[in-house]
A = this chain, B = another copy of it.
Amino acid sequence: MPPGLENRVPKPVYDRQGHPLLIVGSMALDTVQTPFGSVREVLGGAACYAAVAASFYAPVRIVGVVGQDFPSAHMDLLKARGVDLEGVQVSPGSTFRWSGYYEYDMNAAHTVATHLNVFEHFRPTLPAAYRTTPLVFLANIDPALQLSVLDQVERPLFTMCDTMNYWISAKREDLLAVLRRVDLVLLNDGEARQLCNTTSLLAAARQVLDLGPRAVIIKKGEHGALLFTPDSHFSAPSYPCEEVRDPTGAGDTFAGGLAGYLAASGDPSEANLRKAIIYGSVMASFDVEDFSLNRLLTVTPPEVEARYRQFHEITCFE
């Protein structure tokens, strides 16, 4: 960790000169159907969504794995966003594939098939240059692998993790070990209730804080997101999207935007976490407007700033 990082004046957003962000997670080819269309074998995966969202703010480094069939065009696209791909392993075999569909209730994804392929034997290995990355986002992977990443990084300024319902039941002890070591955990509302066996999100958040993290964010989809720390609470709305064509990757995009903003500013204070949550929400609101990363790849910094200001307008009262 660069000395005094947390005390530096936040750098301007979008210069990509901020502190780098390490993202570890899935890279995938997705086949998705929604009431508004369908796509086949498009770029997906938590690490890809998060990386592109974060790339608006900070230099990004990915650790992940793809098969030999992963289109080089996707790699070029990530590189064009300034994403460092030294940590991406190309393994013999096929890339991780997910296929699913959404009905009119876009809050629930219905999985048709998950083919882990090369992702099944993924063992994250950090290039030497990555080990001192100050900001680390462990996207949703086996918590045992998340632990192995934490073992490889050197005194990061800030670490955050995502997870999913499967790990909460199947790898609970490993997940609890991760929670003891990260600064921030992201859960959706169902996961928070499952992890803590309670219907109250407030009670769940308090339990999670007792498990180790100094902040927990509960994602509620179209209902926004909640931040809890031991002595504060923040409620972020969602953006009233005109069109939700495909919600795939919204949570990863939210986390990526948030992590990228934190990295760029180098300031993990509670006040800055609130700003980061809004920037994450802004990125997620763009993601859902089109399939795959299509919309994220056309968003301009002025559009991001305009939508950030709209979040102010949406929430302000005297």
Of the listed residues A104, A200, A232, the one surrounded by the most CB atoms of chain B closer than 10 A to its CB is A200
A274 touching B237, Cβ below 8 Å: no
Contact with B along A228-251 (1 / 0, CB 8 A): 000011111110111010000000
A234 touching B317, Cβ below 8 Å: yes
B223, B233, B314: the one within 8 Å of A233 (CB):
B314
Q: A278 at interface (Cβ–Cβ under 8 A)?
A: yes
Output the least CB separation between A258 and chain B (Å).
12
Q: A313 at interface (Cβ–Cβ under 8 A)?
A: yes
Contact with B along A276-318 (1 / 0, CB 8 A): 0110000000000000000000000000000000011111111
* Interface of chain A residues 85 through 104 with chain B (CB within 8 A): 104
- Bound CA span A316–B317, Å: 10
A: contact size bracket: 35 or more
Sorted from nearest, which 7 A-B pairs have the closest CB atoms? A235-B237, A274-B317, A223-B223, A104-B199, A202-B240, A315-B315, A235-B314
B224, B274, B313, B315: the one within 8 Å of A318 (CB):
B274
- Bound CA span A206–B233, Å: 31
Q: A11 at interface (Cβ–Cβ under 8 A)?
A: no
Output the least CB separation between A314 and chain B (Å).
5
Chain B hits for A274, CB < 8 A: 316-318
Q: A105 at interface (Cβ–Cβ under 8 A)?
A: yes
A202 touching B241, Cβ below 8 Å: yes
- Bound CA span A312–B232, Å: 12
* Interface of chain A residues 216 through 272 with chain B (CB within 8 A): 220, 222-224, 226, 232-238, 240-242, 244, 271
Q: A155 at interface (Cβ–Cβ under 8 A)?
A: no
- Given A235-B237, A235-B315, 9 more pairs with CB closer than 8 A: A105-B199, A201-B222, A202-B240, A233-B240, A233-B314, A234-B314, A236-B317, A271-B318, A315-B317
Chain B hits for A180, CB < 8 A: none
Output the least CB separation between A278 and chain B (Å).
6
* Nearest B residue to A107, CB-CB: B199
Output the least CB separation between A309 and chain B (Å).
12
Output the least CB separation between A299 and chain B (Å).
20
* Nearest B residue to A232, CB-CB: B313
* Interface of chain A residues 117 through 141 with chain B (CB within 8 A): none
Chain B hits for A242, CB < 8 A: 202
B202 touching A234, Cβ below 8 Å: no
A-B contacts, 9 of them at CB < 8 A, read A201-B222, A202-B241, A234-B314, A234-B315, A235-B237, A235-B238, A235-B315, A275-B317, A275-B318
